[in-house]
A and B are shown apart, each in its own frame.
Chain A
Amino acid sequence: MDIVLQQLVNGLTLGSVYGLIAIGYTMVYGIIGMINFAHGDVYMVSAYLTAIAIALLTFFGVQSFPFILIGTLIFTIIVTGAYGWVIERVAYRPLRNSSRLSVLISAIGMSLILQNYVQLSQGPNQQGVPTLLSGAIRFHVGDGFVQITYMKILILLIAFAGMGVLTYIIQKTKLGRMCRATQQDRKMASILGIDTDKVISSVFVIGSSMAALAGVLVTLDYGSFDFYIGFIMGIKAFTAAVLGGIGSLPGAMLGGIILGLSESLFAGLISSDYKDVFSFSLLVLILIIRPSGLLGKPAVEKV
Chain B
Amino acid sequence: MSQENILTVENLVMHFGGIKALNDVTFNIKRGSVSALIGPNGAGKTTVFNCLTGFYKATGGHIMLSANSKDTSVIKVLGEPFKVTDFISPVAFYQRLKYKMFGGSHLVNRAGLSRTFQNIRLFKEMSVVENLLVAQHMRANRNLLAGIFNTSSYKRSEDEALERAFYWLGVVDLTEFANRLAGELSYGQQRRLEIARAMCTNPEIICLDEPAAGLNPSETEALTKMIRVLRDQHNTTVLLIEHDMGMVMDISDYIVVLDHGEVIAKGNPDDIKNNPKVIAAYLGAEEGEEVTL
Taking Cβ atoms with an 8 Å cutoff, the residues of A that contact B are 165, 168-169, 172-175, 177-178, 180-181, 184-185, 187-197, 202
Complex: A177 Cα to B144 Cα, angstroms:
11
A-B residue pairs in contact (CB < 8 Å), sample of 25: A172-B147, A173-B147, A174-B137, A174-B158, A175-B142, A177-B137, A178-B134, A178-B142, A180-B123, A181-B126, A184-B126, A187-B105, A189-B134, A191-B54, A192-B114, A192-B135, A192-B201, A193-B109, A193-B137, A193-B138, A194-B106, A195-B102, A195-B104, A196-B104, A197-B104
- With a CB–CB cut-off of 8 A, which chain B residues contact A178? 134, 137, 142
Range class of the B interface residue count = 20 to 34
State whether A169 and B104 are in contact (beta carbons under 8 Å apart), knowing that A192-B134, A193-B110, A194-B137 are contacts in the complex: no
In the bound complex, do residue B137 and residue A184 qualify as a contact, i.e. CB atoms below 8 Å apart? no
Residue in contact with A173 in the complex, picked from B55, B108, B144, CB distance below 8 Å: B144
Not counting A165-B148, A195-B102, A195-B106, a sample of 16 additional A-B residue pairs whose C-beta atoms are within 8 angstroms of each other reads: A172-B147, A173-B144, A175-B142, A177-B130, A177-B134, A181-B134, A184-B125, A185-B123, A190-B106, A191-B106, A191-B115, A192-B135, A192-B197, A193-B135, A193-B138, A202-B144
Q: What are the residues of chain A within 8 A of B108 when measuring CB–CB?
A: 191
Shortest CB–CB separation between residue B153 and chain A, in angstroms? 13
A169 partner, pick from B133, B138, B144, B201, beta carbons under 8 A: B144
C-beta contact mask, B187-219 vs A, less than 8 Å → 1, else 0?
000000000011001000000000000000000
Does B121 touch A at the CB level, under 8 Å? yes
**Smallest Cβ-Cβ distance to B110: which chain A residue:** A193
Once the chains are docked, how many angstroms separate the CA of A190 from the CA of B198? 12
Closest to B137 in A: A174
Given contacts A165-B148, A174-B142, A181-B134, contact A196 B106 (CB under 8 A): yes
Whether the pair A169, B53 counts as a contact (CB closer than 8 A) is no
Question: Which chain B residue shows the least CB distance to A175?
Answer: B144
Check A194–B144 contact: CB distance below 8 A: no
Which of chain B's residues have a CB closer than 8 A to the CB of A184?
Answer: 123-126
Whether the pair B123, A181 counts as a contact (CB closer than 8 A) is yes
Determine the residue in chain B with the shortest Cβ distance to A180: B126
A190 and B147: CB pair below 8 A?
A: no
> Cβ of B55 and Cβ of A177 under 8 Å apart?
no
Do A190 and B123 touch across chains, with their CB atoms under 8 A apart?
no
Instruction: For residue A71, give the distance in angstroms from its CB to the closest CB of chain B.
Output: 19
Q: Please determine whether A192 and B109 come into contact, CB atoms closer than 8 angstroms.
A: yes
Residue from B54, B123, B126, B147 in contact with A174 in the complex, judged by beta carbons closer than 8 Å? B147
**B226 in the interface, Cβ–Cβ < 8 Å?**
no
Is B185 in the interface zone, CB < 8 Å from A? no
B140 at interface by CB-CB < 8 Å: yes
71-125 of chain B: CB within 8 A of chain A: 102, 104-106, 108-110, 114-115, 117, 121, 123-125
CB-based nearest A residue for B108: A191
Once A180-B126, A184-B123 are accepted as A-B contacts, the answer to whether A191 and B142 lie under 8 Å apart by CB is no
CA of A202 to CA of B143, assembled, Å = 12
Give the distance in Å from the alpha carbon of A293 to the alpha carbon of B102 in the complex: 36
Q: How far is the CB of A249 from chain B (nearest CB, A)?
A: 13
Q: How far is the CB of A122 from chain B (nearest CB, A)?
A: 32
Contact in complex: A188, B123 (CB < 8 Å): yes
- Complex interface: chain B residues within 8 A of A193 (CB): 106, 109-110, 135, 137-138, 201
Chain B residues whose CB sits within 8 angstroms of the CB of A187 once the complex forms: 55, 105
**Which chain B positions have C-beta within 8 A of A190?**
54, 104-106, 109
In the bound complex, how far is the Cα of B198 from the Cα of A184, in angstroms? 17
A172 contacts which chain B residues (CB < 8 A)? 147
A189 CA / B142 CA spacing, docked (Å): 16
- Asked if A169 meets B135 with Cβ closer than 8 Å, knowing A188-B123, A193-B106, A195-B104, the reply is no
Shortest Cβ distance from residue A108 to the other chain B in the assembled complex, whole angstroms: 26
Q: Give bound CA distance, A184 to B182, whole Å.
A: 12
State how many angstroms separate the Cβ of A155 from the closest Cβ of chain B: 22
Q: Which residue of B lies closest to A297 (CB)?
A: B125
Q: Which residues of A contact B147 (CB under 8 A)?
A: 169, 172-175
* Bound complex: CA A184 to CA B130 (Å): 13
A83 CB, nearest partner CB in chain B, Å: 19
